Amino acid sequence: MSHLSINPASPLDSLPLDRILEGDCVEVLATLPDSSVDVVFADPPYNLQLGQGLTRPNQSVVDGVDADWDKFADFKAYDALTAAWLGQARRILKPNGSLWVIGSYHNIFRVGTVLQDLGYWILNDVIWLKTNPMPNFRGTRFTNAHETLIWAARSPEARPVFNYEAMKNLNDDKQMRSDWTLPLCTGAERLRGPDGTKVHPTQKPESLLYRVILASTRPGAVIVDPFFGTGTTGVVAKRLGRRFIGIERDPTYIREAERRLAGVEPCPTPSFALRVKREEPRIPFGTLVERGLVPPGTNLCDARKRFHAEVLADGTLRASGPSGEVIGSLHSVGAAVQGLPACNGWTFWCVEDKAGVLHPLDTFRRRAREDAARPSFARTTRKKGDKQENVLPLRAG
Ligand SMILES: C[S@@+](CC[C@H](N)C(=O)[O-])C[C@H]1O[C@@H](n2cnc3c(N)ncnc32)[C@H](O)[C@@H]1O
């Protein structure tokens, strides 16, 4: 096991970055400093409790998980390990850090209980739907076609990274859902020995880790995987320009992971140019009204001109709803006129220009953000008739 020197003055220097630490994960996690890492991704033993070997109808043996590392005396022993590593993981996470755990019906409910008892706050459970699951050979149950990932914050107060826009981009501009359809790790990606047998029985697909890491970390983030196996987390972290710390007990898997990692090239920097919406300056609608970008009295409508509203001096909207006049925020009035529980008023409400073209309010917000980011001289030297760098309207009306 590696021994670490702790230097509180430079948190990154105190971490064994981009290395695999050999040993029991509870002991190794205990050597890492408090509040020092961004994300923990864990693929712990599933405690499959398989009895006799599984065979297909033609009596060939199924290449399942019967490794010693997946065997526990009883649930109590499994829960004790779970509480120990989850406790250490929570200690080393930064206050806004988050944790991912993947498991199957054999263990994920137990893991979920323990992590809630320890103070974690569940953000999502994600279903990994396998496109090519192993059939239920005995025909006695449903095909077990999914695994579950729990995504949890360190505490209810934490504000973990969520790259909403990157996830939406990945999903053809639709909000990413919590059911992910991805294939098992097969083909060239699957590590095999000279005799063709799998190097590791539960090697995870890189596409799964790609989504996890892209969703919940920024470039340079530190990701710890306490059950590193053949290093899938490290491979994807390195490719995406993140840092990793792997922990694994089995030296054979460590060797394989090191070999695999040596062949990974980081993506070129531009592939990290994520638009992080949360970090853009917040522009309340009232600011646009105050600045005269959308002056009081402006008439708004939706893209199909079914609903209309008027902008009031304090940045509220007035409209006629199904049960009379409504006054409120652009969102609440947008929701009320449609009889819906919620509405994104920025994209729902539009301003019609003199040529009859509709511009969503979001366009004016972008203009305000650009103005805020532009050096002040550029704003003062722009003259009437100057060509605009883009097609955003300057102001409504
Ligand atoms: C489910 S596998 C992880 C597979 C990995 N995600 C991959 O893609 O290759 C769990 C791994 O944890 C390791 N392991 C089990 N108990 C451990 C412990 N207490 N400390 C460190 N490693 C452990 C096993 O050797 C095994 O490689």
Q: 250 CA distance to ligand 1 centroid (A)? A: 8
| CA distance readout (Å), 89 to 21, 29, 152, 159, 174 | 15, 7, 12, 17, 33
Q: Which atom of ligand 1 is nearest to the CA of 250?
A: 25
| Ordered alpha helix ranges (H), 154-246 | 164-170, 206-216, 232-239
Q: Which residues line ligand 1 (CB under 6 A)?
A: 24-25, 43, 45, 69, 200, 202-204, 227, 229-230, 232, 247-250, 253
Give the pLDDT band of residue 124 (cuts 50, 70, 90): very high
pLDDT band at 68 (very low <50, low <70, confident <90, very high): confident
373 CA distance to ligand 1 centroid (A)? Answer: 47
Centre of ligand 1 to C-alpha 24, Å, is 10
d(CA 311, ligand 1 centre) in Å: 59
Tokens, residue 266: 């980081």
User: In the prediction, which pLDDT does 62 show?
Assistant: 61
Which of the listed residues 21, 29, 43, 69 should we mutate to test ligand 1's pocket, taking the one with most ligand atoms within 8 A of CB?
69
Confidence of residue 287 (pLDDT cuts 50, 70, 90): confident
The ligand 1 atom at the shortest distance from the C-alpha of residue 46 is: 1
Which residue lies with its CA nearest to atom 26 of ligand 1?
A: 229
Is the separation of the CB atoms in 237 and 244 below 8 Å?
Answer: yes
In the reported structure, the alpha carbon of residue 176 is separated from the centroid of ligand 1 by a whole-number distance in angstroms of 29
Distance CA 54, CA 44 (A): 22
Q: What is the mean pLDDT of residues 91-116?
A: 98
Q: How many CA atoms, within 13 angstroms, populate the side-chain half-sphere of residue 138? A: 5
- CA of 395 from ligand 1 middle (Å) equals 58
- Three-state DSSP class for residue 371: helix
Ligand 1 binding pocket mutation candidate from 32, 233, 248, 256 (most atoms within 8 A of CB):
248
Q: Note the pLDDT tens digit of each residue in 314-361.
A: 889 999 988 889 999 999 999 999 999 999 999 999 999 999 999 999
User: What percent of the chain is predicted at pLDDT more than 70?
Assistant: 84
Contact 223, 41 (CB under 8 A): yes
Helical H runs in the chain? 25-29, 75-92, 108-117, 164-170, 206-216, 232-239, 251-262, 285-290, 330-338, 345-348, 361-373, 376-381
Q: What is the pLDDT of residue 218?
A: 93
Decide if pLDDT at 16 tops 90: yes
SS3 272: helix
Which residue's structure tokens are 């076609």? 145
Å from CA of 95 to ligand 1 middle: 26
pTM score above 0.75: no
Read off the pLDDT of each residue in 361-368 and give the average, rounded to a whole number: 90
> Of 51-55, 80-84, 382-386, where does the model show the most confidence?
80-84
Residues paired with 98 in a beta bridge: 39, 153
CB 96 within 8 A of CB 154: yes
Q: Residues 280, 286, 291, 294: is their CA dihedral positive or negative? A: positive
pLDDT of residue 284: 84
DSSP state of 386: P
**Residue 365 pLDDT exceeds 80:** yes
Q: Locate the ligand 1 atom nearest the alpha carbon of residue 257 and give its number.
A: 9
Q: How far is ligand 1, taken at its centre, from the CA of residue 33, in Å?
A: 22
